[in-house]
Each structure stands twice: as structure tokens, then as C-alpha cells.
Structure 1
Amino acid sequence: MTMPPDGDGSPWVNPGDAPPPQSAPPPAAAPVAPAPHPYPYPPGPAMPPPGPPSGRPPNNRLAVVALVTGLVGLGFITVFLAVAAFRQIKQSGERGRGLIVGGLAAAVVWLAIGISVAAATDWDPDAGSDDSGQSAFQLYPKTGQCFDWTGEERDASTRIMRCDRLHDAEVVAVFSLEKGPWPGEGKVSARGLTECEQRVRQRFGTTTPLEHGEIFTLYPRRLGWKIGDRRVHCMIAAAVGDKLDRPLPKGDLGLRTWDELGIGDCFIAPRERATVTVKRTACDDGHTGQVTYRFVMPAGVYPGERTVDRASEKRCDRGAAGLVMKRPPVPLEYWWVGPSEESWTGGDRRVVCYVTADQGDLTRSVIRPR
């Protein structure tokens, strides 16, 4: 039964009644220590992986190496690395083209320095030579020096030799072509050979001052031209597979090729063998023969040796008939030197007609006075 509140306003509770049930507060949770962090500092925001700045590819390693090798003068290695680096850059998109160009430019500078030093060095032909003819390596011999080619091709490296020993060639002159843009290898070669022939003929009176010699030129290539090298090395070289055995004469000794003889020229030549050159001499001295006529056969396909001989005999007899004395001092024999199939292919169709004494030598001219 409910009782009225007490005078203080608190409800009166029967002492026999149990107090209303109340829920006990939950026990306090034990504090939990934070797990240790693997770093000695609190973790921060996520960082990007190490590497180059965003959007800028790295330098190609081969390009860097190409630059270094070019700067230290390793030209061939630089070229090899530059090619490989260009290929990698094209595939990967890496940077380094400027490094490659710098390496190649440095290699070209080193090459120019090497050429200049080789050209400016005063080499003695006998310096470093021994009894076998071995001597110092030289890329560009000087005028008057004899040498052997040491490579498989004639424009390869050379080795200075003594001129009184067997050798491949002797330098006759060194000259420079006029300045200007690169005209092409064909024009450079032709200009160099033309001027070389002029210089050789001016000095010796012939383009073949030795029986087994021929003109050869070493002319600048495109790369050398770009760095200022205009020099042409003019030389008398032995035929391929042959050797020169003595130095060139100092001047004109009268040696001429057959096609360099003119009508009326007297000459000395061996009778027992054919030669490329003969020695021109005065007709009042003893001589082997005298030129009576010369002509050029018509162009076309080589007609064969027998046809050339028949045509040469006919034309030589006709040409000599109006020039040779009707009553020469001695009986004469008539001869000619004509083109071979090889020389015909090369454009030489000239025929030189001449006479010799039936026996012995001639002692005077057999051409009618004009």
C-alpha cells in the first residue's frame, strides 16, 4: 500500500520492502599499450618512390659513356657506343641525344688533332730503321719519303722505308685543293689526279718515271674535308704485287711511255723484251728506233689482236711512206705498238709506229728533212 509522502516530501518506504534493483556500472577496461612502430618516428604521409622528377625520363647510360669516351679520345669506341645508345633511346624514350652528339663532336676534334700532329711531325726516313728496313709508323709520309702500305688497301696505314730497299711507293708531292664546300668524292679524286699528273710531268717529263711505276693519289675524304683537310698526297707506286727497288730520279732523264713519244723522236729500248717506257735521246747519238707515225683506232668493241695488228700494219706503212727517206742509210724494219684488250677497255686506242735498223743501232734520223 502506498503511503503519503513524509513531511519533507520524500516518499515513505516500508522498511520491509527491498530496495529497487539497480544495474552495477561496468568494470573499467585495462589500458592497452600501443603497438611499437617499425620506424623510430611516427608514420607520415605516403612518399613517392625514389627516381627522377615526374614526367622527365632518365639519361641513357650508354649515352653518358659515349660522352666520356669521346672526351678522352676513344673515337672508335665512341662511335660504337653512340650507335647503340641511339637505338636504346629510340626504344625506351630516355634522354641523352645531346650527350651522344657531344661525344661524337669530341671524337672528331681528337681526330683532327691527330691528323694535324701526323702532318706536322718531321719524320726521318731512316729514324728507327734497322737492317730489315723496319721503321716508325707514319700515316702521311712527306715528299721524298718511301714507304710500304701495311694494310690490305692502298689508303691504309703506312710504314716508312729506305728508298734503296724494296718498297711500295715514294711520295712525289703534297699539295692542297682550293677551299669550298665538299664537291663529292668523284670530283675530289679527279682534281687530285689531274694536278698530280701535271706535277709529275713537270718534274720528270713523263707520268711514268720508273718502268714499273704508276701514279697514285691519296686524297681527302668527306670527314677530313669538313675539318679542313684539303691535302692530296701524290706518289709513284709500284703495280699491285710488285715493288720499287730504287729512289725516283731527281729530274727528267728522258724516260717516256710509248704514247708520250712524238713523230720523229728517237729512243733507246731493249730489243729482247717489251717495255712500258723507253728513253728518248738525240737522233745523232746511237739509238734503237725512231717514231715514224701515230694514230688512234676508231672507237667500239675491242676487235681482237689480229684485227688490231692488220690495221696497225696498214696504217703505219701508209703513214711512214711520206716521212721516211726513200734511201735510208741502213735497211729498216717497221714496227708498231698498239692497244691491248685491257688498255682498249680503259679507253686507250693509240698506235705508235716506228722503225729500227735491220742490224745494230741507228746513228742518225731516217725522217726526211722538212
Structure 2
Amino acid sequence: MASLVAGVLMTGPVALALGVVGLRRTRARGSRGARLAIAGIALGVFGTLAIVAVVVGVRLTAAAQRPLTLDVDSPREAHAVQLVTGHCVDPLPPSGSVDEVTVVPCDQPHAAQVVTQYRFDKAATWPGQQAADRRVASACALTPAEVEAGVRAVTWAPTEESWGRGDRTGLCVATVEGGGLTGSFLDGTVVIP
């Protein structure tokens, strides 16, 4: 009975342990209650698997949001929320919501580079998509020489959905038509084709 109650309360490992103990006791004593113990074991297994799934999901989500280091030695897939100022990407994703990108070493040809970030206050409420876009765009400042060379700024602001997951960082990405950049805007080594 205790195993069944623990299983209903979703305390998986406890229900499983109590169910195994209860099943052994009912078999050893020849008493009734084996079905309750089996039901408790089943709920215990289900509850334990559910707990494991939640823990794994939380860990994977945290890993997918952890910022990447700037030391990128080969192309790799990343989520946009992992990018920081200095990362180079290729190709530049199409306009709209950006989730996954390919980060490449900046000394290899690339389409764009993250040149600044705009951080919203952690306690801020969702400002709406247009306001979020405007705030991130206000952090994008290209030099007159960059503008003259055909560099344009692309902004990636949090969406309402990503905001709900805790995303509070917007990115300003510098790019040129057709890509093919090498080097970095940040240290002045960029070569614009």
C-alpha cells in the first residue's frame, strides 16, 4: 500500500523500493497485497524514468545556452544564444527567428561576425518584438569606413518564445553582400572582398 501511495505522489525511487520490499514480504508470508506491490513498482519505474528525463532535459537545455568560448578551431553547430561578441558565422541565416548557426574560425571565410551585444535587464518584462529589435539595433554602430565598404548590420533580438526561456541578449552582426569575409572586425584584421 505504501508503495502505491508513493507512486501516486511521483516519488519514483521510493515507490520502487517500497514495492520491491512489499512484494517480497507478501510472497514470503503468503499474504495478500502482491497486486498493490506490483502496481507500486510500476508507478515507481514510471516515476523514476520521469525524474531521469527531467534531469537530462534540464542539463541539455543548460548546455545549449552556455556561451561558447571564442577559441573555435573548426566549424561547429551552436545555438544563437551561445554566441558572444567576436564569433564568426557561416552562412548567415535567413531573416527571421535564428536558432542554430554554424560558428567558424574568423581566419576562415565567413559570412558575418558578432560585433556587439545588447543585454536586457534580467528582471525586464517582454517589451514586444519591435521594441526588442529597436533596442538591439541601437547597439549596432558601424564606422563610416565600414559602411562605405558595404558592411551592413543585422540584428538578432530575442523573440517572445526565447525570452520566455530566459534569453535576454541581442546580437549585432556585421556582414557584407555575398559573405567571404576573413579576419575580425574587432581587431582590425577583417578583409572585405
TM-score range (shorter-chain normalised) is: 0.5 to 0.7
Alignment of 1:98-137 (within 5 A): 99=32, 101-108=33-40, 111=42
Question: 1:270–1:194: structure 2 CA closer, same or farther, 3 Å change rule?
Answer: same
1:362 is aligned to 2:185: no
Q: Larger helix proportion, structure 1 or 2?
A: 2
Question: 1:359–1:308: structure 2 CA closer, same or farther, 3 Å change rule?
Answer: same
Q: Is the 8 A contact 1:255 1:277 kept in 2?
A: yes
Q: d(CA) in 2 for partners of 1:195 and 1:345?
A: 18
- What's the TM-score, normalizing by structure 1? 0.33
Q: d(CA) in 2 for partners of 1:106 and 1:311?
A: 58
Q: d(CA) in 2 for partners of 1:191 and 1:360?
A: 41
- Give 5+ residue unaligned stretches, structure 2: 1-30, 66-73
What do residues 291-327 of structure 1 show as CA deviations (whole Å, max 9, x unaligned)? 111132123332222211221111232xx66xxxx74
Question: 1:301–1:361: structure 2 CA closer, same or farther, 3 Å change rule?
Answer: same
> Cα offset for 1:107?
5.0
Q: Is the 8 A contact 1:263 1:293 kept in 2?
A: yes
> Cα offset for 1:356?
0.2
Q: d(CA) in 2 for partners of 1:339 and 1:195?
A: 22
Which residue identity lines up with residue 308 of structure 1 in the other structure? A
> Cα offset for 1:267?
0.7
Of 156, 159, 167, the residue aligned with 1:337 is 156
SS state at 2:115 partner: strand
Alignment of 1:39-50 (within 5 A): none
What do residues 93-150 of structure 1 show as CA deviations (whole Å, max 9, x unaligned)? xxxxx62x233224556x59xx7xxxxxxxxxxxxxxxxxxxxxxxxxxxxxxxxxxx
> Cα offset for 1:255?
0.5
Of 99, 102, 109, the residue aligned with 1:286 is 109
What do residues 172-219 of structure 1 show as CA deviations (whole Å, max 9, x unaligned)? xxxx99xxxxxx96xx66643344457xx5xxxx57xxxxxxxxxxxx
Question: 1:189–1:300: structure 2 CA closer, same or farther, 3 Å change rule?
Answer: farther
SS state at 2:138 partner: helix
Alignment of 1:264-283 (within 5 A): 264-270=86-92, 272-274=94-96, 275-283=98-106
Q: d(CA) in 1 for partners of 2:60 and 2:75?
A: 19
> Cα offset for 1:268?
0.7
Of 116, 130, 136, the residue aligned with 1:306 is 130
Which residue identity lines up with residue 287 of structure 1 in the other structure? H
Q: d(CA) in 2 for partners of 1:311 and 1:106?
A: 58
Question: 1:257–1:195: structure 2 CA closer, same or farther, 3 Å change rule?
Answer: closer
Q: Is the 8 A contact 1:259 1:352 kept in 2?
A: no
Which residue identity lines up with residue 288 of structure 1 in the other structure? A
Question: 1:196–1:363: structure 2 CA closer, same or farther, 3 Å change rule?
Answer: closer
Which residue identity lines up with residue 293 of structure 1 in the other structure? T
- Give 5+ residue unaligned stretches, structure 1: 1-97, 116-154, 156-175, 178-183, 208-251
Q: d(CA) in 1 for partners of 2:37 and 2:55?
A: 29
Q: Is the 8 A contact 1:330 1:358 kept in 2?
A: no
Q: d(CA) in 1 for partners of 2:95 and 2:131?
A: 23
> Cα offset for 1:337?
0.5
Question: 1:190–1:286: structure 2 CA closer, same or farther, 3 Å change rule?
Answer: same
What is the number of residues matched between the two proteins? 146
Which residue identity lines up with residue 351 of structure 1 in the other structure? G
SS state at 2:139 partner: helix
Question: 1:196–1:368: structure 2 CA closer, same or farther, 3 Å change rule?
Answer: closer
Which residue identity lines up with residue 103 of structure 1 in the other structure? R
SS state at 2:153 partner: strand
Q: d(CA) in 2 for partners of 1:301 and 1:272?
A: 27
> Which residue does 2:22 correspond to in 1?
none
- Structure with bigger RCO (C-alpha 8 Å, 6+ apart): 2
Taking only the aligned residue pairs, the percentage that are identical comes to 23
Q: d(CA) in 1 for partners of 2:179 and 2:53?
A: 46
SS state at 1:316 partner: coil
SS state at 2:182 partner: coil
Question: 1:197–1:311: structure 2 CA closer, same or farther, 3 Å change rule?
Answer: closer
Which residue identity lines up with residue 332 of structure 1 in the other structure? V
Q: d(CA) in 2 for partners of 1:305 and 1:327?
A: 30
